[in-house]
Amino acid sequence: MNCNLTRRLSYAELAAKVGEQDTFDRVSEKGESYRVEIDFVVDDAKTQAVRVMSMISYSAWTDFSPVCGDFIMDTEGDFVGE
């Protein structure tokens, strides 16, 4: 699954993926390999908001400090903190 596409999923679709990890390899337009990892977790047990975290590693240096991003979606389908 493309990490940009996860923002288009509904709350129910994200909640169904909690505990899962999507990992895939890609090749950039420049022919460079990189790896994408997307994790789905419950951010807040009380509200059941889901946090989606993505990490991109494209060199030996980023293996130690990957490029990261995340978002949180509440049960109403709204993004939290944006």
Q: Please tell me the pTM assigned to this model.
A: 0.80
CATH number where 23 lies: 3.30.1300
Query: What is the tens place of the pLDDT at every residue in 2-16?
Result: 556 788 999 999 999
User: Residue 48 falls within a domain, yes or no?
Assistant: yes
**What's residue 37's pLDDT?**
92
- Asked whether residue 81 is domain-assigned, the answer is no
What the block records as the tokens of 47 is: 């509200």
In a domain, 43, yes or no: yes
pLDDT, tens digit (0-9, with 9 covering 90-100), for 10-63: 999 999 999 999 998 988 888 888 888 999 999 989 999 999 999 888 765 555
CA neighbor of 58 nearest in space, from 26, 34, 78, 24? 34
pLDDT of residue 80: 93
